[in-house]
Structure 1
Amino acid sequence: MIVQGTAGTGKSFLIDCIRKELNISPPMTANPLLVLAPTGVAAFNIQATTIHAGLRIPIREMHPLTGQSLMTLQEQLKHIKYILIDEMSFLGPKLLLKIDNRLRQAFPNKQHDNFGGVSMILVGDLAQLPPVIDKPIYASHSTALSLWHSFTIVITLDTIFRQQGASIRQQQFRALLHNLRNAQALQHDWQFLMCQTNATLTIQQKKDFNSSIHLFATNESARLHNRKMLKELNLPVALSLAKIAKQTNTEYDTNEQLPLEVLLSIDQQVMLIANLWIKVGLVNGAIGLIKQIVYENNTKPPNLPKYVVVQFNDYNGPPWDIAHPKDIPILPIT
């Protein structure tokens, strides 16, 4: 089954309802529903696990599971009758095939059935973010397309709950979002957006928006804005230089996966870019504030800190510091 709907139509609420409806098994019986999502943030938002972790799918090349690893997966999934995957626009043909292969392994008695005989529910909006390094799921010309065509029940949620109101301005805003989603923005949509530019905002409004998340068209524009915000903190800034243990790539300085240098300051807003512990909110994309920068004895910038204490308001795990339960030490990564 496919459940589709644009932003704000209540997809996450519906997922919660499905979870409660299906979790009616008698006591001592495992939940028959497994809820998955393609990213850490998406998984955290609906109290799910990631597709890769839940089905033991590696990020890179995938091989069939054997021995103890296969037995563990089969044991973990033996009660599962339904799998719900949120944010289906992230699913490409490659990942869909991996999911199918893994489920055929997990349920060997039904290894000749699509997805190992499990009932699949895909939720999302295909007009949202596309797959990473893959084609959209519907654009495939491989075995994945036959899997996609097996989803014959499609339900569309068409009432927007997030942006409500009957005023002309509220209706304009809903129409603007709809037209942007469909890549059909009109001149009056542009005019509506341009009524709230920097030139039209009051001084107080500019202050209110100053600390908001900003969107930029280029990495360079984002970098300049981050430098500006860092300077406005008016606090000491620690330069941290990456350690290059083994230079195997002569063009390592163009690699944007990990920057060669990072500027750190107390009360600086930062983003976590790794899934450290999805269940408690330490996910790729989590926003926090730096509270401490701790160095090894007799070291100082530009050496790497021993760890950086970051306050994550969405963190809901055990406290590292009882006095500050949202503060978590983040260590350097390789």
Structure 2
Amino acid sequence: MSITITREFKDALELLKHGREHLFITGKAGTGKSTLLKLYQETIPDNSVILAPTGIAALNVGGQTIHRFFKFRPGTTPENVTKTFMQGSTRRIIRNLDAIIIDEVSMLRADLLDCVDKILRKYGWERNKPFGGIRMIFFGDLYQLPPVVPRNERNIFQKGSLYETEFFFDAHVMKEVPFLRIELTKVFRQKDEEFIDFLNRIRENSITSEDLEWFNRQNVARFEEGKGTGTRDYFVILTSTNRQADEINLRHLDKLGQLNPIYKNSAEIVGKISREMYSAPEELVFCRGCQVMMLTNDRNNQFVNGTLGIIQGCDRVGGQVEIKLRNGKVISVGKHKWEVNSYGLHEGKIVSVPEGSFTQFPFRLCWAITIHKSQGNTFENLGLMLGRAFAPGQTYVALSRCTTLEGIKLFTEIQMSDIMTDPRIVRYFERENIDFET
């Protein structure tokens, strides 16, 4: 996705670099939130950390999960968080913090944010003040993927209970401190205004039955999975569950494996690394003809995270895999070493400290991928397989991954019941005026 540094980017960067306000930077899919964060990372102050609610999100920004940074254990709640022991090294890091950046904030639960607040009030440099006086900067789109709430915890998040909703904006601390909200408006991923308008209506739940009839008429491709459109090169099927994606990928692998040698590679893992921080499959199985998705940015700019390719062969001796990209270029890809870091304190400055490493070929099978794992990626051709296990925002996330209307194929027609925008999100934006629209 090519992004022009517009006036709104420059204004937002100025606030990020020189402001002291708490910020919530949001915008539609494809407006460059991730790019803005990367630009900010180039000049980020020394005593800042980048966190995320999930391992995948943390890996994408080179940070840590919130739980890992604060050493939160399972069962940690706002009521008991300050009673648990916190290592001196973590306390010293917190005391030196100037800012905390949290990416993919749509997945941040209200109770987890209150846990963060209580710890920062106890150990931050301005004790008993919201967030301990530390600047908070949030990135994300609330209309995309929501926080995960197990069934047995849903009673916590309802009217008249501990929290009105599970979303970060209903954390108790958010009632004590103002956030300046910046809305990025320029969409870069798609160029077709008609398609952009359609996606906006999906996002905001203002879609009509006529809109869906128009979209379905142009994009439904009724085909048996595994035939026709489903086997086109550089075509990805987005599913709502891991099981669906795994079944599709294994079916294609088994078919190709009958004609080609199968290669297997186990990741080399050094240090104590939690599974959520694995950057690629621990056990990678592939063969000639497999469609794969790259999982890192190439230092020679041959591919980026999310690039699709077709395996042409494997050199066992040299440890290289030949991959054909969409543009026809064949590249040699070796194993990639991901450093897993934690934050430490050195001479009063917060620094990244190596904690371990994960070495594997930087790709995964990708005839299919879950909508959740596709967040942040861009595809030119995709198929959408809607399922029963569906969360608000998933249809919008899935459709907005594609660059063009013509690139989308549907296994079944999209129904009005598939367009789920959480009404609590809508009410939040209705009651909160946009503070700063760039």
Query: TM (normalized to structure 1)?
Result: 0.62
Aligned match of 2:58: 43
Q: What is the percentage of aligned positions where both structures have the same residue? A: 25
8 A contact 2:109–2:167 mirrored in 1: no
- The 5 Å alignment of 1:71-220 reads 71-107=88-124, 109-133=125-149, 135=157, 139=165, 145-149=171-175, 150-164=177-191, 170-186=192-208, 187-198=210-221, 206=229, 209=232, 212-216=235-239
8 A contact 1:82–1:118 mirrored in 2: yes
SS of the residue corresponding to residue 100 of structure 2 reads strand
Change in 2 beyond 3 A, CA 1:116/1:172: same
- The 5 Å alignment of 1:1-334 reads 1-23=23-45, 31-61=46-76, 63-64=81-82, 69-107=86-124, 109-133=125-149, 135=157, 139=165, 145-149=171-175, 150-164=177-191, 170-186=192-208, 187-198=210-221, 206=229, 209=232, 212-216=235-239, 225-226=248-249, 228-235=251-258, 266=263, 276=275, 278=277, 282-283=278-279, 289-291=284-286, 313-314=294-295, 323-324=319-320, 325-326=334-335, 328=359
Shift of 1:231: 3.9
Change in 2 beyond 3 A, CA 1:189/1:115: same
Code of the residue aligned with 2:180 in structure 1: it is: I
The structure whose RCO (Cα within 8 Å, separation 6+) is larger is: 2
Code of the residue aligned with 2:41 in structure 1: it is: R
In 2: Cα distance, 1:116 partner to 1:314 partner: 36
Residue by residue, what CA displacement relative to the aligned partner does 1:218-268 show, whole Å, maximum 9, x if unpaired?
A: 7776566455434422439xxxxxxxxxxxxxxxxxxxxxxxxxxxx7589
In 1: Cα distance, 2:171 partner to 2:239 partner: 35
Change in 2 beyond 3 A, CA 1:220/1:117: closer
Which is greater in Rg?
1
Shift of 1:207: 6.2
Code of the residue aligned with 2:92 in structure 1: it is: E
Shift of 1:208: 5.8
Query: TM (normalized to structure 2)?
Result: 0.49
Code of the residue aligned with 2:107 in structure 1: it is: F
Number of aligned pairs? 256
Any unmatched runs of 5+ in structure 1?
24-30, 165-169, 237-264, 269-273, 293-310
The structure richer in strand per residue is 2
Any unmatched runs of 5+ in structure 2?
1-22, 266-272, 299-316, 321-333, 337-358, 362-438
In 2: Cα distance, 1:276 partner to 1:195 partner: 41
8 A contact 1:33–1:83 mirrored in 2: yes
